[in-house]
Amino acid sequence: MTDETKVSERTDSEVDTMYDALIAFVKRIEASTATTRNHYGDYMALMGAVKGMKNKRGLAHAIIKVGANKRGVRDGFKAATGEDL
């Protein structure tokens, strides 16, 4: 079963809850004082904290989509995976 299949099997309510949680985390991160350039450390920690999602690339794009600093997410993704987003 792929990550895409798992997501498609979730109810609308579960997806809405995940979406709302991402928005809340991103707002909190962006409102805080950056301790790393563009909050990349915070975004790296957020991507690592989401359990059960192997598709970190998809998660990174979702975080950007809900309003995160794109450069911060890209830098955090690269620091965590060694890959460009």
How sure is the predictor about 27, in pLDDT bands with cuts at 50, 70 and 90? Answer: very high
2 within a domain of the structure (yes/no): no
Let me know if residue 5 belongs to a domain: no
SS3 66: coil
5: phi > 0 → left, psi -120 to 50 → alpha, else beta; which? alpha
Q: Residue 5's pLDDT band (boundaries 50, 70, 90)?
A: very low
Number of domains observed in the structure of the chain:
1
| Model pLDDT, residue 18 | 82
pLDDT tens digits, one per residue of 12-26: 676 678 889 999 999
What pTM, to 2 d.p., does this model score? 0.79
* Domain that residue 32 falls in: 12-81
From CA 31, how far away is CA 16, in angstroms rounded?
22
For residue 7, tell me if it sits in a domain: no
